[in-house]
Amino acid sequence: MAKDAEKSSGAEADDWKEFVWNPRTHQFLGRTASSWGLILLFYLIFYVSLAGMFVLTMYIMLLTLDEYKPTYQDRLATPGLMIRPKGDSLEIVYSMKDTESWDHYVQTLDDFLAPYNNSQQVMNNDVCSPDQYFVQEDSGEVRNNPKRSCQFNRTMLEECSGIVDRYYGYRDGKPCILIKLNRVIGMFPGKNGVSPYVTCGAKKEDRDKIGELMYYPPNGTFNLMYFPYYGKKAQVNYTQPLVAVKFANVTLDTDVNVECKINSNAIKTQSDRDKFAGRVAFKLRINSN
């Protein structure tokens, strides 16, 4: 019995050896050299074609990409609004008597408005005709790049420019807040030569506290000449138009919930998908001591 087992295990070992290398048929792992060669050749060709196809698709895709504008852009029906200065939350809260409590707002506005200095604008940008779009399309394959941009002079913000009053009204409890419209490439925000404009108001319970508002430029408009926007790469010196709102007689020592919105005859401001579309809400509180 023990002999039998030994014999059969010896035969098994021989079978195994013969499977790995069979000297009679010259087969390695059950295949001849030419059979192995064919298999390797097949896989080589297979993978080379796969790689080729990948490179080709990639190449064609890159050809269709335009360096100057994103191929896919999440087209928002309505662009958002944002305020400056803006802290971590949408709140402007300070005490008139405590300089340190509002100094950082002034600093933020100074930094934000530096590129709007008239001297900068004259150097970088053109004087455009107001109330009409500044269209600079490419003609077919001929690129019209780089594209020029229109001047938005800091002095157009008048009382809120930081030049007439270098504290932007914060010291006197009549603060200025800047509003900008988020950039959307290729957006035409008004029809029939009517520019979109900003209006601000208070939430119902604060309506009698908000006081008189002043808008700069007049009527709080984003002039059509600053549109359409062609993207950072095509329009290198683009200066975003701004609207400044001055709270000239806001009630002190109380929270005032303010909401500003864009009014336009070309873009929808009521959106079911995004109820913040085209508007921005923030809290304003000025303490008198």
Among 251, 278, 280, 284, binds ligand NAG (CB under 6 A): 251
Asked if residue 153 binds ligand NAG (CB under 6 A), the reply is: yes
As a whole number of angstroms, the distance between CA 93 and CA 172 comes to 14
C-alpha triplet 204, 205, 207: angle, nearest 5°:
65
Q: How far is the CB of 144 from ligand NAG (least distance, A)?
A: 11
Closer by beta carbon to ligand NAG, 39 or else 123 = 123
Contact range with ligand NAG by CB under 6 A, out of 24-32, 53-61, 115-123, 275-283: 115-123
Pairing relationship of beta strands 91-95 and 279-287 according to DSSP bridges: parallel
Q: Which lies closer to ligand NAG via its Cβ, residue 134 or residue 277?
A: 134
Tokens 């069979």 appear where? 22
- Can you give 114-170 as a three-state secondary structure string? HHHCHHHHHHHCECCCCCCCCCCCCECCECCCCCCCECCCHHHHHHHCCCCCCCCCC
Residue 233 touches ligand NAG, criterion: CB under 6 A: no
55 binds ligand NAG (CB under 6 A): no
Q: Is 163 a residue that touches ligand NAG (CB under 6 A)? A: yes
CA neighbor of 219 nearest in space, from 282, 156, 265, 166: 156
Give the residue among 202, 277, 205 at the shortest CA–CA distance from 247: 202
Residue 270 in the binding site for ligand NAG (CB under 6 A): no
Nearest distance from residue 211's CB to ligand NAG, in Å?
5
Please tell me whether residue 7 adopts helix, strand or coil conformation.
helix
Among 38, 122, 135, 164, binds ligand NAG (CB under 6 A): 122
* 237 near ligand NAG, judged by CB under 6 A: yes
* Binding status of residue 146 toward ligand NAG by CB under 6 A: yes
- Euclidean distance between CA atoms 289 and 283, whole angstroms: 18
What is the widest separation between alpha-carbon atoms in the chain? 113
State which of residues 66, 111, 212, 274 lies at the interface with ligand NAG (CB under 6 A): 212
| Residue 187 sits in the site that holds ligand NAG (CB under 6 A) | no
Among 219, 254, 265, 270, binds ligand NAG (CB under 6 A): 219
Binding of ligand NAG at residue 78 (CB under 6 A)? Answer: no
Q: Is 149 in contact with 124 (CB distance < 8 Å)?
A: yes
**Contact between 249 and ligand NAG per CB under 6 A:** yes
Contact between 148 and ligand NAG by CB under 6 A: the answer reads yes
Nearer to ligand NAG, 31 or 232 (CB): 232
Instruction: Establish if 144 lies at the interface with ligand NAG (CB under 6 A).
Output: no
The residues facing 289 across adjacent strands are none
Residue of the chain from 22, 124, 240, 271 that contacts ligand NAG (CB under 6 A): 124
- Whole-number minimum distance, CB 269 to ligand NAG, in Å? 18
Residue 283: phi, psi to the nearest 5?
Answer: -105, 135
Total binding residues toward ligand NAG, as defined by CB under 6 A: 23
Rounded to a whole number of angstroms, the minimum distance from the CB of residue 56 to ligand NAG is 36
Task: List, as one string, the DSSP characters of 196-212.
Answer: PEEEEEE-GGGTTTS--
Phi and psi at 282, nearest 5°, equal -150, 165
